[in-house]
A and B are shown apart, each in its own frame.
Chain A
């Protein structure tokens, strides 16, 4: 492998680790569940995307690289779906809490 590509791969993986760290921080520090979901989706989306891109450069053949893309896209779709489902539940609960007493949910 040529040197510049190697550096590019390393840089991408490091960027992925940075985003992973940032999203973990977000999950721990953000105030409410919806914001945390946002941070969580960042990990699946950007962080894994960067890492997969970085690793793709290192693969000896195209099939392995394609498999990595497949992993990323399935994770991506799963993350969107699970985030949606979680947000749906959160909203349903908030509505339920709002209705009987008339107090506003946080």
Chain B
């Protein structure tokens, strides 16, 4: 047995065991930490099945940003809560039965698919040239199935807006001195990460990358800057923040309508596809980055109050 096979055996097993541990974890802070580890393992698993695009996104969003969001939310509701009590055993039976049935049905569906696989790879490859990108993953996400991505951006926008509107400013932002080490880190590394985010968008048309990992990276920069007690990302004029939140959805929508003049709605004319794709990805990167930053700030109680008393 070679090392690859061994890893393919250990990884899924580790994922299942870790999931079980997280579900049984009573203390929320520990569950969050373990969830972040789960995200990292999941990213490695995506690498093992040759899906570096998914691995990038999983590592950045699944492990990094989601972890930060969960920790911020935890900070807001307070760590000293009663640990949740497990259900009494008679109540567990229907839950177990339902879970088993659902799991069984899903597994059966997967096995059925396995015996008669429908592959769209050939169809994608055949029209790759028209999509404006040479990376098939990017072509599917931003052109062939742009509809899905459009709605995903819409969901993200909705959630950011909802939280932005509802979250009152609670808890003061600790405006203590970030200290020389962190200050150095912010001033040197934050610009570097921003450049890497742009690079990810640029390279996304040829190789793994694209708006989602780039946006996640950008939101990481946003969170870092927030932790550095700098007023910058929130100090931006609120209108600017709102425009940035809407940018991705708006540009996508406009591109979709624009395509309607040539062919169908939400399709891109092949000769303009590359430019549109880049524009959409840049706008989406900004929106994703700012959405997660705003979500984080709201969860931590640093944003949301219109009077701005909290900061």
* Interface residue B179 (Cβ < 8 Å from any Cβ of A): yes
Q: Given A77-B189, A85-B227, does the pair A92, B176 have CB atoms closer than 8 Å?
A: yes
Instruction: Decide: B179 and A88 in contact? CB cutoff 8 A.
Output: yes
Most buried by A among B176, B184, B185: B185
> Which residues of chain A have C-beta atoms less than 8 A from B178's C-beta?
85
Which one of A74, A80, A92 contacts B181 once the chains associate, using CB atoms below 8 Å?
A: A80
CA of A78 to CA of B221, assembled, Å: 12
Instruction: Decide: B181 and A81 in contact? CB cutoff 8 A.
Output: yes
By size class, the interface of chain B is 10 to 19
Nearest-CB distance from A78 to chain B (Å)?
7
Which one of B179, B185, B227 contacts A77 once the chains associate, using CB atoms below 8 Å?
A: B185
Instruction: Decide: B182 and A74 in contact? CB cutoff 8 A.
Output: no
Instruction: Decide: A84 and B179 in contact? CB cutoff 8 A.
Output: yes
> Which residues of chain A have C-beta atoms less than 8 A from B182's C-beta?
81, 84-85, 88
- Which residue from chain B places its CB closest to the CB of A81 in the assembled complex? B185
> Which residues of chain B have C-beta atoms less than 8 A from A81's C-beta?
181-182, 184-185, 189
Q: Find residues 140-175 in chain B having any chain A CB closer than 8 Å to their own CB.
A: 174
Grouping DSSP codes into helix (H, G, I), strand (E, B) and loop, the B interface class, with mixed when no group exceeds half, is: helix
CA of A58 to CA of B181, assembled, Å: 34
Number of A interface residues, CB 8 Å? 9
> Which residues of chain A have C-beta atoms less than 8 A from B174's C-beta?
92
CA of A74 to CA of B191, assembled, Å: 13
Q: Find residues 246-293 in chain B having any chain A CB closer than 8 Å to their own CB.
A: none
Most buried by B among A74, A78, A81: A81
Nearest-CB distance from B250 to chain A (Å)?
34
Which one of B176, B179, B189, B227 contacts A78 once the chains associate, using CB atoms below 8 Å?
A: B189
Nearest-CB distance from B101 to chain A (Å)?
38
Nearest-CB distance from B166 to chain A (Å)?
28
CA of A74 to CA of B188, assembled, Å: 11
Nearest-CB distance from A74 to chain B (Å)?
7
> Which residues of chain B have C-beta atoms less than 8 A from A80's C-beta?
181, 185
Q: Find residues 72-94 in chain A having any chain B CB closer than 8 Å to their own CB.
A: 74, 77-78, 80-81, 84-85, 88, 92
Most buried by A among B179, B181, B182, B227: B181
Given contacts A78-B185, A88-B176, 4 further A-B contacts (CB under 8 A): A74-B192, A80-B181, A81-B182, A88-B182
Interface residues of A (CB under 8 A from B): 74, 77-78, 80-81, 84-85, 88, 92
Cβ contacts A to B, 10 pairs, < 8 Å: A74-B192, A77-B185, A80-B185, A81-B181, A81-B182, A81-B189, A84-B181, A85-B178, A88-B179, A92-B176
Q: Which 7 A-B pairs have CB atoms at the shortest separation, nearest pair first?
A: A81-B185, A84-B181, A85-B182, A81-B182, A81-B181, A84-B182, A88-B179
